[in-house]
Structure 1
Amino acid sequence: MTALSHAPHCFLLHSAMAFHASALLLCQLTLLLSLFAVAEGRYFRFRKFKETKQGSLFEEQWFTQKLDHFNGADTRVWKQRYFVNEAFYKPGGPVFLMIGGEGPANPAWMEYGSWLTYAEKLGALCLMLEHRFYGKSHPTVDLSTDNLRFLSSRQALADLAHFRTVIGETRGLTDRKWVAFGGSYPGSLAAWFRLKYPHLVYASVATSAPVYATVNFPEYLEVVWRSLASENPECPLLVKKASDDLAERLKDPKTYDNITKDFNLCSKLQIQTEMDSAYFLETLAGNFMDVVQYNEDNRGFEGLAGTNITIKVLCGVMADTSLGEPYARYAAVARLMMETFSMKCLDTNVTKCVSDMTNASWDGPAAGGGRQWVYQTCAEFGFYQSTDSPNQPFTGFPLAYFLKQCAIFYNISAEQVAEAVTQSNEYYGGYDIRSSRIVFPNGSIDPWHALGITQDILPDLPAIFIKGTAHCANMYPARSDDPPQLTLARDHIFLLLQQWLKQ
């Protein structure tokens, strides 16, 4: 499942995993999407899901997990949520473990998805483990910055290792071959699980996995440009003109009343600081970023709205001269997204955003994943999708804007973010992964592929680069109108699994 996802309407770090997602956001099991982007996704542009009625067939179960795997003197434990599907299991078959990410683990993935097709053919038992600090898996009493120190990819991998060990022993599966699956940030975890715990996981499918951490990630928006241009070469040029025009208007308070009306804002626009301007501009850019990230994905079973909004639809609006100048078309896109997601108005109040993101309660407005995922970007990965490149279509949200969020939300300095990113690449290897039996599927439309493995490293570390598809597309259920290259990619993954499991 996937996730790089959305968080409350606040600073977007565009994902994850996300995961666009401004305050990043994402794919995997946490596999996820847009204007939810304005209202959830900013934070994860990695994909996340939403619990659905279909998932009710699978009862949630609970696993006793350690709070701190790296401190033997700390004996505290908590309950981690997981799901089981035994429908396809044949004695002696493999165990498939879907890794949760930066959002609630969606039990709909126990009924749908390409991994279940593989499971049926290979006689696999299917498990899905929710990521600590997301969904219902609450290791601590709140989300205070002091408690968030227990939220990290390393602790999550240790959760997976302990879960695999104990479930293996209690269910008689210790000697079975375990295969990890994940998309977006969970895709990275799937690769790193095989890398760091090769004695516990036999193979991994690491879909749309951003394995290279970087503080500044302007390449994300460069891919957005190319993806829009693949539909219509004029489209990113029109978006750029509109974004530049809007940024210029923000310099004149006399325009604020009209902008408030044009974009249907919840309250009169107030631009008093550079943060106010950056937040507003990024919010509107998020409409395009999220749609590009999940373009034409078969996500309906997740219970998500907006799956009918595609690159083709947005570029169609931007090319519609009857709407007026590009600025007016840009506003029309914003209104279309609000209508699609049943939003009465667009809230661009930075003060409220800060209040939401600093609320440490599990009942807080950002507790669905926004506060947690942005913390992970500040403490481990960066991934900040800034406008610091001339080869992208937006204006006004530079790296400094994202780094300021780390300081405001968690008292983490820019220097600390840079050091954390360096440590992540030292620990995991970045692009230079040295392992075996990991396959890396990525889509050419997906901006996250810029941080993933898109060429074979070794014969048993293959990449599958799928032209014309977006974030985690190969993880979704197949449909009759899937492009041939997507069907071939799913078949390729199955053949690799079949081959590896025979070894």
Structure 2
Amino acid sequence: MLLALCILVATLGRFVQRERVGPSTQLFIENRVDHFNPFNQDVFRQRYYYNSEFVRDGSHVAILEIGGEGEINSAPGGTKSNPDILGRIADNYGAHIFVLEHRFYGISHPFQHTSEKYDVGTDKLRYLSSKQAQSDLLYFISVMDDRLCPANSKDGSFKRIEGRTCFQWVIVGGSYPGAVTGWIYQRHPNLFAAGLSSSGVVNARYEIPEFDTHTLMVPGAPCSDALYQAQHEATRQVEAGEDNIVYERLGIRTDADKSDIHYFIADTMLMCFQYGKSKSCCDSRLSKAWEGHGDILDALVDYLSTSSFDSYDSINLASDTAKHSDAFRQWWWQTCTEVAYYQPAPLINSLRSEKITTQWHLDMCKKIFDGLDLGNPTIKTNEFYGGEHVKADDVFFSNFWQDPWHMCSMTDDMGGQKDNIGFIRCKDCGHCVDLHLPQETDPIELVELRDRIYSFIVERVDSILNRVG
């Protein structure tokens, strides 16, 4: 289920920190707890990171990456000698780079419980929404724009225009933040020069049964055959309740809810392919076992042991407190109330127990959020944002065939070639891979996609700078 963000390479709730290098300063801003209630003046400390590596005097460009469903610990951009795509853009303009941590994640919580934990009770989570998050971003931009603006240039080549931002802002996000990128641009097109939505899931889908069937196609034989067999053997052992390798090696309580275990097994294994790591899963584990060099179930459990079941345990998910590193309960709230993205077991080629249905997801929402019957939240979400018809022509939408989340995004399959859509198919090109630091081993399709992104954003920023300069 977990999707996640690409600041942290994640799957809806479980996060692997994206490699980052370069200067990164941790700072804080005070933001409102409730942007939509003028009588609520409460504020909270929201963390952000700043990369000044590329800044040059007189620059009028700033890049803001949106934090997602997890903790952040550095800014993007890289260094002059080793830049990522955002650093490459920043170097062209001498731009500032920021990333703002999403409310209710990391240490950007509105409600403190103890010195080490935060209050994420159901009554508090009503302040966690994509709309509140966008208002956080808008306020952040207004503050940074005013604080860092070089005002009027000494030679008269630039004059600040009343009512306009000083900087040309480029908004960026990957995965759920990629969706927020499209949504916030659509609502405030005059505020941004351009945007990048990497694997941006703008279309909130109620259920995605194709998630498993697509993932099973990605590695091909023999890995897909081995994966299918291993998953089903693990499911059988969990259902049998045996004192077996699944419980012993993964440290799972024997009285844990079996459906929670089924979901953990499927979600964790599928992430391997979602993030372009099929080589580590197949070549070193499953395929070798399938060819007779080991036990298939043992190979699966070996991979699963690198993750923790605790975050999938519904007992833990029902807890109304969270540490800075916890994210699953908050993300469940966002799925239950706004975006769903539920992944029920398909009728054929399923990689999860048949018990994982759409109704199971709805029951989980009730179970962990005090019995709330939230139903299908995507109708209102897509009516408000437009779903797959989001209007954001100056946002580049990048997607990757191997990543099943492309089914919730903007791709060429949606009708004709567009200059703001890049949809590529290459081996191990997974979720948000274009935001990663470039590697010498990157396939040519990925290299060319990054070049398209760079040209797309530079063209739009230049056109505005030439008009206002």
TM-score by length of 2: 0.84
Aligned to 1:300: none
Aligned to 2:343: 385
- 1:104 matches 2:89: no
What secondary structure sits across from 1:156 in the alignment? helix
Alignment of 1:290-309 (within 5 A): 290-296=271-277, 309=280
**Residue pair 2:260, 2:314 contacting (<8 A) in 1 also:** no
What secondary structure sits across from 1:202 in the alignment? strand
Structure 2: unaligned runs, 5 residues or longer: 113-118, 151-164, 464-469
**Residue pair 2:250, 2:304 contacting (<8 A) in 1 also:** no
**Residue pair 1:220, 1:447 contacting (<8 A) in 2 also:** yes
Alignment of 1:256-267 (within 5 A): 256-260=242-246, 264-266=249-251
What is the letter of the counterpart of residue 280 of structure 1? Answer: I
What secondary structure sits across from 1:60 in the alignment? strand
Aligned to 2:226: 238
- 1:481 matches 2:469: no
**Residue pair 2:172, 2:195 contacting (<8 A) in 1 also:** yes
Q: Which residue among 265, 270, 278 is the counterpart of 1:289?
A: 270
Structure 1: unaligned runs, 5 residues or longer: 1-13, 20-25, 34-40, 298-307
- 1:322 matches 2:293: yes
Alignment of 1:133-144 (within 5 A): 133-141=104-112, 142-144=119-121
CA offset digits 1:249-297 (Å, max 9, x no partner): 54545xx024557x624257458xxxx3322222222342111111149
What secondary structure sits across from 2:36 in the alignment? coil
Aligned to 1:151: 128
**Residue pair 1:65, 1:78 contacting (<8 A) in 2 also:** yes
Quick check: 57-66 or 234-243, which moved more?
234-243
**Residue pair 1:50, 1:106 contacting (<8 A) in 2 also:** no
Q: Which residue among 448, 452, 457 is the counterpart of 2:409?
A: 452
d(CA) in 2 for partners of 1:101 and 1:207?
Answer: 13
Aligned to 1:163: 140
- 1:331 matches 2:322: no
**Residue pair 2:310, 2:316 contacting (<8 A) in 1 also:** no
Aligned to 1:221: 212
- 1:442 matches 2:428: no
**Residue pair 1:165, 1:200 contacting (<8 A) in 2 also:** no
d(CA) in 1 for partners of 2:332 and 2:194?
Answer: 29
Q: Which residue among 365, 384, 390 is the counterpart of 1:406?
A: 365
What is the letter of the counterpart of residue 49 of structure 2? Answer: F
**Percent identity among equivalent residues?**
26
**Residue pair 1:27, 1:208 contacting (<8 A) in 2 also:** no
CA offset digits 1:12-64 (Å, max 9, x no partner): xx22xxx2xxxxxx2332x424xxxxxxx6x526x553898x67x42211111
- 1:431 matches 2:388: yes
Q: CA RMSD in A?
A: 2.7
d(CA) in 2 for partners of 1:267 and 1:438?
Answer: 44
Aligned to 1:302: none
Q: Which residue among 171, 179, 198 is the counterpart of 1:188?
A: 179
d(CA) in 1 for partners of 2:443 and 2:128?
Answer: 38
1:131 and 1:392, CA in 2 relative to 1: closer, same or farther beyond 3 A? same
Aligned pairs, how many?
Answer: 434
d(CA) in 1 for partners of 2:299 and 2:416?
Answer: 47
Deviation of 1:108 after TM superposition, in Å, equals 5.4
Aligned to 1:374: 332
Deviation of 1:357 after TM superposition, in Å, equals 1.4
Aligned to 1:78: 44
1:175 and 1:311, CA in 2 relative to 1: closer, same or farther beyond 3 A? farther
d(CA) in 1 for partners of 2:246 and 2:67?
Answer: 39
- 1:63 matches 2:56: no
d(CA) in 2 for partners of 1:128 and 1:165?
Answer: 15
Quick check: 385-394 or 71-80, which moved more?
385-394
Instruction: Report the structure number with the largest CA radius of gyration.
Output: 2
**Residue pair 1:357, 1:370 contacting (<8 A) in 2 also:** yes
**Residue pair 1:48, 1:103 contacting (<8 A) in 2 also:** no
d(CA) in 2 for partners of 1:292 and 1:336?
Answer: 13
What secondary structure sits across from 1:195 in the alignment? helix
What secondary structure sits across from 1:465 in the alignment? strand
What secondary structure sits across from 1:69 in the alignment? coil
TM-score by length of 1: 0.79
**Residue pair 2:26, 2:47 contacting (<8 A) in 1 also:** yes
**Residue pair 2:6, 2:18 contacting (<8 A) in 1 also:** no
What is the letter of the counterpart of residue 146 of structure 1? Answer: D
**Residue pair 1:240, 1:395 contacting (<8 A) in 2 also:** no
Aligned to 1:95: 62
Aligned to 1:491: 451
**Residue pair 1:62, 1:81 contacting (<8 A) in 2 also:** yes
Aligned to 1:305: none
What is the letter of the counterpart of residue 205 of structure 2? Answer: T
